[in-house]
Structure 1
C-alpha cells in the first residue's frame, strides 16, 4: 500500500490530481522520436544531456553537441566530455532497470569527469550546502550521518512505487516527487541535480515505457530555471526543516512539459 511510503510524500496527491491538466495520456502517446536519431545516435538523449548539463552551468549548445555526437565533428574535449558522460548515463538507464545498484552505476558514468573515482557512485561523507553566486547559503542538505538512512528510505519507497500499478497522473506526480526528495537529500558530492533529473525520467520510463525518453523535461526545466530553483527552494533552508506541503508548484511543472 502506498500509504506505507516513508520519505516520498503522497500527501499532496489529491490536490495535484485536481490541478493537473487534462489530456496527459494523449499528449504522452503522441511523443515520438526525432528524424535526426539513428541506430547509434539519440536526438532526445542529446537534448536531455545538454540541457541537464546547462542547468548546472555547462557552456554547451545543443547544435554543437549534435554535430559532435551524430556527425563526428571534433570539438575541444573539455567542451563535450561531461555531456558525453551524462549521455552515457542516459543510455545506461534506457537499458537497465531502475534500482539502487543501477542508480549508483549511472552516477559513476555521469560523474566520470566531475568527481574522483572513490566518490563516483558512493555517498558523500562531508557536509553539503548549496550557495548562491554571491556567496549566500540557500540550502543545507542532509548531514553526512543521515545520508545512508535517508537513502535507504528513498530506495525502499522507490521499489514500492516501481512495483505498484499507477495511473499516468500518479506516475507524473511520483516522478517529480522522487526528483525533489533525491535532490533534497543530496547524497553525492556532486552530480545530484543531473542524477535527480535522470531518475525522474527513468521512473516514468519504468512505468509507462520508452516514450518517456522523448520527454524534453530537462529542456523545460532549463528554460524555466529560475522558477525551477524557486520551487525547489520553497521547502525550506535546512533538510531537517523541509516542508513538503510547499512542493505542489514544483510537482506541477513536469506535466507542463507536455503542453
Structure 2
C-alpha cells in the first residue's frame, strides 16, 4: 500500500526498515552531531569531507588533508587537483540555502559539473542511452531510457515535493532520503555528475526534515570507505531499469543510518 501517494519512490519497505533500525539510538546519535572546531564562518569542515569523498567515489585522487590545507589555509595546489572539489563544495553550500525542488536540483547539478560537462548539458537531461560500467568494462546496470528520463524525473520531483509536505519522523526521513538516492541512481538523468548529485540530494532532503545537523553526517565518507558494498547493494535491484526490484533495496537503505550509528 502506498501510504504517501507517491509516483516512483517506494514506501513498501518502510515497515521492514523501521523494524531493523534502532530509532532511539539513531535519534540520540544524530542529536549529538556537532560541527568541527576547525570550521569557521567561511569554511565548513564537514562540507569539505562531503565534497572530497563524494569526488573520490567518482575517481578523483584528492586527499582530505590536502583539500583542507587548500580551502581553510589557502595553500596553493594545482587547479586541476582542487577545481572539481571546489565546485562540489559550492553545490553543498547552495543546497543549504535552498529547497530541493525541480529548479534547484537542476541548478545544483550545474554547479559541480562546471568543469565536467559542456555548459549546454549542465542541468539538462541526457538524450542518449546510459550504461554504468565497472572498472573492468562489465555493465553494472542499464539506466532509464532517454525517452523516459523526463517523465521519471518529474515523478521523482513530485514525490520529493509530497514528502517535504509531510512531517516525517527520523526513521521515515532516513528511509526516504535513501530511497530518493536509490531512485535517482537508477534513473541516472545526467550525462555525468549523477553520483555527486544523488549523494547531495540524499543529504539535502534529509536536512529539510532534520535540520542543519544533517550536514555533519559523513555519509559520503562512509560510502567511499564501503564503496564495494555501496555498488553491490545498488546492483541487488537488477540490471535493467524496466525490471528493477525495489523489494531488494533494504541493504542499500540501511547504509545511511549506519553511517550515523557507526556500526557495521
The TM-score normalised by the length of structure 2 is 0.97
> Could you tell me whether the CA contact under 8 Å between 2:4 and 2:163 is conserved in 1?
no
Q: CA deviation at 1:3?
A: 3.5
Partner Cα distance (2:177, 2:16) in 1: 16
For residue 113 of structure 1, give the secondary structure of its aligned residue in structure 2.
coil
> Could you tell me whether the CA contact under 8 Å between 1:6 and 1:153 is conserved in 2?
yes
- Note the aligned Cα RMSD (angstroms): 0.9
> Could you tell me whether the CA contact under 8 Å between 1:2 and 1:160 is conserved in 2?
no
1:238 and 2:240 aligned: yes
What is aligned with 1:247?
Answer: 249
Partner Cα distance (2:34, 2:129) in 1: 42
1:112 and 2:114 aligned: yes
- 1:7-53 superposed Cα distances (whole Å, 9 cap, x missing partner): 00000000000001341111111000000101100000000000000
For residue 141 of structure 2, give the secondary structure of its aligned residue in structure 1.
strand
What is aligned with 1:58?
Answer: 60
**Deviation larger for 141-150 or 125-134:** 125-134
1:15 and 2:16 aligned: yes
Partner Cα distance (1:212, 1:206) in 2: 9
What is aligned with 2:179?
Answer: 177
- 1:175-221 superposed Cα distances (whole Å, 9 cap, x missing partner): 00000000110000001111000000001111110000000000001
| Count of paired positions | 259
> Could you tell me whether the CA contact under 8 Å between 1:89 and 1:110 is conserved in 2?
yes
- 1:221-241 superposed Cα distances (whole Å, 9 cap, x missing partner): 101101000001100001001
Indicate which of 195, 214, 217 corresponds to 1:215: 217
Partner Cα distance (1:207, 1:76) in 2: 38
Partner Cα distance (1:88, 1:184) in 2: 25
Q: 1:1-259 counterparts in 2 under 5 A?
A: 2-22=3-23, 23-259=25-261
Q: Structure 1 regions of 5+ residues with no counterpart?
A: none
The TM-score normalised by the length of structure 1 is 0.98
- 1:130-168 superposed Cα distances (whole Å, 9 cap, x missing partner): 111221112110000000000010000110001101100
Partner Cα distance (1:155, 1:204) in 2: 15
> Could you tell me whether the CA contact under 8 Å between 1:21 and 1:255 is conserved in 2?
no
Q: Structure 2 regions of 5+ residues with no counterpart?
A: none
Where has structure 1 moved over 4 Å in runs of 4 or more? none
> Could you tell me whether the CA contact under 8 Å between 1:41 and 1:70 is conserved in 2?
yes
For residue 11 of structure 2, give the secondary structure of its aligned residue in structure 1.
coil
> Could you tell me whether the CA contact under 8 Å between 2:170 and 2:210 is conserved in 1?
yes
